[in-house]
């Protein structure tokens, strides 16, 4: 039995659209880029989008805690809670800065460590994906700020011809290559931000290994969509990726270990 209160997907999608509108407004300007303490870039778009999301979540889902990237960077973390939102207002800031369009707005709902609901919106590409465990995963195009007809999405079965692997445009390396040696890889596709999860969820790719540092807000929304589409996200020891990780000792709160996102349920299974 889930404990999270119902938050209609339409609500989360609408919030993501509002944030995306502001991101696109700034995207069209000569914006400044600031480097944070962890050497990652941040722009006015990150901050403005997060402010919109926080305001609208407070109005539409009062009482549910929110862990948001820029709030965390400012040292403002909510008290621990079994049910909370994870927000990355602009995942793929490097893509935003390079203007390749592959950046996303990410909102996820976590219940007892599991991402049960999520939305990923790529405003420059006009693509939105959402999903909820038990209700399925969907995608639609966005034109003039409005979501078009939705279509259900599901993971694909890997074929004898090999798997399609997808990976980070900025962070692939020897560890990823070594992991993929266990598979017959027919194609490797590079993509930015949480779109990698969405491509696996929609059957356009079969697996996404991430052998680099990520934070929970980077992955939660895409993870929720992939799980709702029939896939899974696991740590390298085969355990489901968990959320709400605090007091990790050797790493920061909400930091993820290395993980692999699988489409076909049979991929990566040894039993």
Question: Binding site for Mg(2+): which residues?
Answer: 69, 88, 90-91, 218
Annotated binding site: 69, 88, 90-93, 218
Measured CA to CA in angstroms, residue 268 lies from 46, 179, 180, 206, 220 at distances of: 35, 11, 11, 11, 21
Annotated binding site for substrate: 69, 90-93, 218
Burial 185-194 (b: 16+ CB within 10 A, else e): eeeeeebbbb
**Distance between CA atoms of residues 205 and 2, nearest Å:** 30
Please report which helix (H) or strand (E) contains residue 271, including its range: none
CB 103 within 8 A of CB 90: yes
């Amino acid at each position: 039995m889930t404990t999270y209160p119902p938050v209609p997907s339409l609500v989360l999608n609408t919030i993501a659209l509002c944030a995306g509108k502001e991101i696109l407004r700034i995207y069209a300007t000569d914006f400044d880029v600031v480097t944070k303490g962890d050497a990652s870039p941040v722009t006015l778009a990150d901050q403005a989008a997060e402010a919109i999301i926080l305001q609208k979540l407070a109005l539409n889902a009062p009482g549910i805690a929110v862990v948001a990237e820029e709030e965390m960077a400012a040292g403002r973390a909510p008290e621990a809670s079994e049910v909370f939102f994870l927000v990355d207002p602009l995942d793929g800031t490097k893509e935003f800065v390079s203007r390749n369009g592959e950046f996303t707005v990410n909102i996820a709902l976590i219940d007892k460590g599991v991402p049960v609901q999520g939305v990923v919106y790529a405003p420059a590409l006009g693509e939105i994906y959402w999903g909820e465990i038990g209700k399925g995963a969907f995608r639609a195009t966005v034109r003039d700020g409005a979501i078009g007809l939705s279509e259900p999405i599901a993971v694909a079965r890997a074929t004898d011809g090999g798997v399609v692997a997808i990976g980070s445009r900025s962070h692939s390396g020897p560890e990823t290559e070594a992991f993929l040696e266990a598979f017959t890889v027919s194609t490797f596709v590079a993509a930015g931000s949480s779109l990698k999860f969405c491509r696996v969820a929609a059957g356009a790719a079969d697996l996404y290994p991430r052998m680099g540092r990520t934070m929970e807000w980077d992955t939660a929304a895409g993870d929720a969509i992939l799980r709702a589409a029939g896939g899974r996200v696991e740590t390298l020891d085969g355990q489901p990726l968990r959320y709400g990780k605090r007091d990790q000792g050797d790493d920061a709160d909400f930091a993820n270990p290395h993980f692999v996102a699988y489409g076909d349920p049979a991929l990566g299974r040894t039993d």
